[in-house]
């Protein structure tokens, strides 16, 4: 046997035995419980696609709270907790689910989250660079300051209304950040509290349409209840001639004017890559929380025309355009 042949065989053996290689991953089977707030989203599709691409064969168990806190508590206590040790990972979507699940999981099983806007502020991790427990994930955090400053390049506004759900931690955290930024930019912020009840939302929209509440623009934070009513919000605010700054692409697709938004598919893929790092031997508590460095600028040009808003050419050239 020649020296070249021996070297080739040695390389093949090393590749086969080394964890983290494609050959190793291809034989790796995982069981993942997915605890969701409003059903499967682009993030879960990204997670599944990336894990498959990385060579994992995964058995998923889906537990959907259907935006109901009572049901969330039930599935965590009655369906997840008794079976915790059956799973290799617990995947959780959003701040509300992740925070509640963390108490049940309690570091017993690795927890991977996605679409948590402020994991530190919500008390989910110690820091973005070092989560500090058996948990890590991918955040949909976008600089609220950058969102405001981008919107101010498009239109002038002094009174900024904020539709937010006080019962959703993520929404409330963004509202607090907005309050700080509004003061530094000499903006008046007007709260429009919209708990998860359609009549409350409709009442706020009515006040905006009949001008009993006067604003120059509306900000829509990342919020599951509001997102599920994006079509209603978009059509009503466009009819009221109120420009809208959105933090989720769904809003812009349904009529909001402009927004810097996260790529939800990529957030799911980032969560999958964290699983892969953990499988290769890295502790979750030392894997930094993923955040997107360059969020996508989206502009609804149909809304811009309806509101007679002129979008600077430089922004149009960088934006994902929605008709």
Tokens describing residue 162:
């904020």
Predicted pLDDT of residue 26: 46
CA 39 to chain centre: 14
What is each CA distance from 223 to 8, 45, 196, 216, 261, in whole angstroms?
55, 20, 10, 21, 13
In this structure, what is the dihedral angle of CA atoms 284, 75, 164, 252, given to the nearest 10 degrees? 80
Tokens describing residue 168:
């959703």
pLDDT tops 80 at residue 41? yes
Across the range 79-95, mean pLDDT stands at: 97
Contact 58, 28 (CB under 8 A): no
pLDDT tens string 210-221: 999 999 999 999
Residues facing 62 on adjacent strands: 34
pLDDT over 90 percentage in the chain: 82
Place of tokens 């120059």: 216
Tokens describing residue 256:
């909001």
pLDDT tops 80 at residue 2? no
Distance between CA 318 and CA 154 in Å, rounded? 14
pLDDT tens string 278-287: 999 999 999 9
Q: Which of 180, 197, 191 is CA-nearest to residue 219?
A: 191
Contact 65, 35 (CB under 8 A): yes
Average pLDDT, the chain: 91
Across the range 141-163, mean pLDDT stands at: 94
252 Cβ contact partners less than 8 Å away, ≥ 6 residues apart: 246, 258, 259, 261, 298, 299, 300, 322
Using pLDDT thresholds of 50, 70 and 90, give the confidence band for residue 169.
Answer: confident
pLDDT tens string 186-204: 999 999 999 889 999 999 9
Lowest mean pLDDT among 3-17, 163-177, 202-216, 276-290: 3-17
What is each CA distance from 148 to 77, 122, 175, 281, in whole angstroms?
40, 22, 13, 41
pLDDT tops 50 at residue 19? no
Predicted pLDDT of residue 24: 46
Report helix, strand or coil for 263: coil
Lowest mean pLDDT among 6-10, 179-183, 185-189, 271-275: 6-10
Domains of the chain listed by start with CATH number: 3-140+264-286 (3.40.50.2300), 144-261+296-322 (3.40.50.2300)
E-strand stretches of 128-204: 135-138, 159-164, 188-193
Residues facing 36 on adjacent strands: 64
Query: What element of type H or E holds 113?
Result: strand 111-114
pLDDT tops 60 at residue 11? no
pLDDT tops 80 at residue 28? yes
């Amino acid at each position: 046997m020649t020296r070249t042949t021996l070297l080739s065989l040695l390389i093949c053996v090393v590749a086969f035995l080394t964890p983290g290689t494609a050959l190793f991953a291809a034989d790796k089977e995982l069981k993942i419980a997915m605890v969701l707030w409003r059903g499967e989203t682009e993030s879960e599709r990204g997670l599944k696609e990336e894990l498959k691409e990385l060579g994992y064969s995964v058995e998923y168990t889906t537990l959907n709270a259907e935006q109901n806190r009572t049901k969330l508590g039930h599935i965590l206590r009655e369906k997840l907790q008794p079976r915790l040790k059956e799973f290799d990972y617990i995947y959780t979507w959003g701040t509300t689910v992740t925070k509640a699940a963390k108490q049940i999981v309690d570091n017993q099983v690795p927890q991977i989250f996605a679409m948590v806007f402020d994991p530190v502020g919500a008390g989910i991790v110690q820091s973005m660079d070092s989560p500090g427990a058996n948990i890590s994930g991918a955040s949909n955090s976008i600089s609220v300051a950058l969102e405001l400053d981008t919107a101010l390049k498009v239109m002038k506004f002094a009174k900024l209304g904020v539709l937010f759900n006080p019962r959703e931690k993520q929404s409330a955290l963004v509202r607090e950040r907005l309050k700080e930024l509004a003061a530094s930019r000499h903006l008046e912020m007007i709260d429009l509290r919209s708990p998860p009840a359609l009549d409350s939302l409709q009442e706020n929209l009515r006040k905006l349409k009949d001008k009993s509440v006067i604003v120059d623009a509306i900000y829509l934070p990342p919020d599951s209840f509001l997102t599920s009513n994006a079509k209603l919000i978009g059509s009503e605010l466009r009819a009221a001639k109120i420009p809208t700054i959105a933090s989720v692409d769904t809003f812009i697709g349904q009529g909001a004017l402009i927004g810097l938004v996260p790529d939800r598919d990529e957030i799911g893929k980032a969560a999958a890559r964290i699983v892969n790092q953990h499988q290769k031997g890295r502790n979750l508590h030392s894997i930094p929380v993923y955040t997107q460095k360059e969020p996508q600028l989206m502009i609804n040009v149909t809304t811009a025309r309806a509101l007679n808003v002129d979008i600077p050419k430089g922004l149009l050239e960088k934006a994902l355009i929605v008709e």
